[in-house]
Structure 1
Amino acid sequence: MDDTPRTSIGIDFGGTSVKLGVCCGGELLHIDTPIQTANFHGPSALIGEMAARVAALRQQYPDIAAIGVGVPGLVDFDHGFVHELTNVPGWKHVPLKAVLGEKTGLPVTVDNDANAMAYAEFRYGAARGLKNVVALTMGTGIGGALVLDGKMYRGTGFAAGEIGQMSIDYDGVAGHYGNLGALEKYTGNQQIAEHAVRRYAEAGIDKELTECSPKAIAEAAQAGDDIARGVWGEVADWLGTALANIAWLLNPD
């Protein structure tokens, strides 16, 4: 295997936005303006915009050799086939690797975004030199990834590490796949904001969702807001429950 660093484009496909960056050997060289996911209806239009951005970046960095895409959902890693994105409507059974590769003329690797993040940390970051690692991503949804005995563990159907679907309340809110008490239905960005609005309302305070983003709640908690501190405490309890179960099950480094 040739480990010589090559300039490449990384695409972080999120439920809210798609971000492109140029990197080489673990060093980030450039961050492009995010693409707002909601502005593009369906895979074809969004993939077309990705390809256009790639073409523009190749004008600045002509030695770009490959593209890596991390997506928040179920991905057939071997074939670069996106089975489903839980937080992006219309993305089912999309041959992303083949289509983006054809449009750009570059080799494309597609993986679950949490897997991509975990592998980057394993090779270059906080988990370098470790053998057993659990990674967690938080945003629109909750993702996760596993490195076991020094190798990415994907599971039989490429669904291993989907920590956001872990049940933390057997009588709780149903997740995307129907399981009750799914973690991401409590700790996703939108869910945290909705929970904060409810807690403020219980105290007789009217708040809009836009005022209760996780960032806003964190800042309010640091400033001494008791309601915000209570919300963060509940979020920490939910996350802690999931992570404690994972720690006992897998015994990671």
Structure 2
Amino acid sequence: MEFTDKAIGVDFGGTSIKFGVVLGKQIIAEAPAILPKDYPRPSELIQAIADTCLSLMEKHKDIKAIGCGVPGFVDTPTGRIHNLTNVPGWIDIPLQDLLSEKTGLPCIVENDANAMGVAEWKLGAGAGYQHLICLTLGTGVGGAVIVNNQIVRGSQFVAGELGQTSIHYNGRVGAYNNPGALEDYIGNNEFAADAQRAYFEAGIEKHIDDCTPAALDAAATAGCSVALACWDDFARKLACTLANCCWLLNPEAFVIGGGISKAGKTLFEPLRKHVDSQLSAPFRDHLRILPAKFSNEAGIIGCAVLALETADV
């Protein structure tokens, strides 16, 4: 699929907001990130986002649309934010209308995990698949579900929250009072804490900073048995959700992104083993489990793609 027009993608994170001018698969220009904490009121932050977009539009006169990916629940048709994760005060905000009014361009607002999924489905590792599930692994776990070449949004446009699906009916209680929520087992912080405990039980004292996914990947690559066991346990937990998705939706492929996916075969080899062990041949034999093509730029690219599609330029 070719995208020959320019759009601005806005990746609205809890700690920083990043901007890029996108042409096809490439981010051809960027603007300095802004920090939500510097703008205590939503109106102030929205104006800062609009001003940054206007500065990019001044340098690139042929920008056609703006897409903004946010970490929270969005009413997709209207671009109204129900609420944002880790950004206080953002409740029932008509961000799409406000950005369009301030910039004069068509705008869309999308959940950030869906934006990542769109980038991978349209232009990345998932290109060509009609039945695809994308996950982004980080502090939390986000998901995007594509069935019959359509992104699944659900009745209230909040489908695909795979991080909130349960892997244990009597497990850890998640943010929404849901026991066993996946991200409460494999989020970056939980993974590090579990690894620190595993080292302690093996008679090894480790600082939590030595238990990040990157540090555990390096330790596993060097042959550390504790780190290898931690990754196997991580993969087994993630495989539970992937297997559930297979039984429910029978996807052709999974695309896995986010920082943890950079572990490569340290993650993907045990993950494949555990997924295969839970599936029968019709689900297993043609299933692909793929690392994402795009890294931190996936959200910006996906938002730009959605903006151009919606603007119908």
TM-score with structure 1 length normalisation?
0.89
- Cα 1:131–1:167 change in 2 (3 A) is same
Aligned twin of 2:18: 19
Matches within 5 A, 1:50-129: 50-129=49-128
Aligned twin of 1:164: 163
CA distance in 2, matches of 1:230, 1:40: 43
CA distance in 1, matches of 2:39, 2:179: 31
Q: State the one-letter code of the partner of 1:112.
A: N
Contact 2:3 2:23 in 1 (8 A): no
Deviation string, structure 1 residues 24-76 (Cα, Å, up to 9, x no partner): 12322134444344444353343233223223322332222211111222111
Shift of 1:184: 0.9
Contact 1:16 1:140 in 2 (8 A): no
Shift of 1:204: 4.4
Aligned twin of 1:148: 147
Out of 85-94 and 146-155, give the one that drifted further. Answer: 85-94
Contact 1:193 1:213 in 2 (8 A): yes
CA distance in 2, matches of 1:114, 1:204: 39
CA distance in 2, matches of 1:44, 1:251: 43
The alignment partner of 2:10 has SS state of strand
CA distance in 2, matches of 1:37, 1:225: 40
2:213 matched to 1:214? Answer: yes
CA distance in 2, matches of 1:103, 1:206: 54
- Cα 1:48–1:203 change in 2 (3 A) is farther
Aligned twin of 1:242: 241
Contact 1:221 1:229 in 2 (8 A): yes
Contact 1:142 1:164 in 2 (8 A): yes
Q: State the one-letter code of the partner of 1:220.
A: A
Contact 1:40 1:46 in 2 (8 A): yes
Shift of 1:106: 2.2
CA distance in 1, matches of 2:147, 2:125: 16
CA distance in 2, matches of 1:232, 1:40: 39
- Cα 1:4–1:17 change in 2 (3 A) is closer
Contact 1:87 1:140 in 2 (8 A): no
Aligned twin of 1:229: 228
Aligned length: 251
Unmatched 5+ residue regions in structure 1? none
Shift of 1:18: 2.2
Give RMSD over aligned pairs.
2.2
Contact 1:42 1:90 in 2 (8 A): yes
Q: State the one-letter code of the partner of 2:239.
A: G
Shift of 1:101: 2.2
Aligned twin of 2:278: none
- Cα 1:60–1:193 change in 2 (3 A) is farther
Deviation string, structure 1 residues 177-204 (Cα, Å, up to 9, x no partner): 1110101111122222222233333344
CA distance in 2, matches of 1:32, 1:227: 42
CA distance in 1, matches of 2:118, 2:40: 30
CA distance in 1, matches of 2:240, 2:82: 29
TM-score with structure 2 length normalisation?
0.73
Aligned twin of 1:178: 177
CA distance in 2, matches of 1:170, 1:75: 28
Unmatched 5+ residue regions in structure 2? 253-313
- % identical aligned pairs: 47
Q: State the one-letter code of the partner of 2:43.
A: S
Aligned twin of 1:188: 187
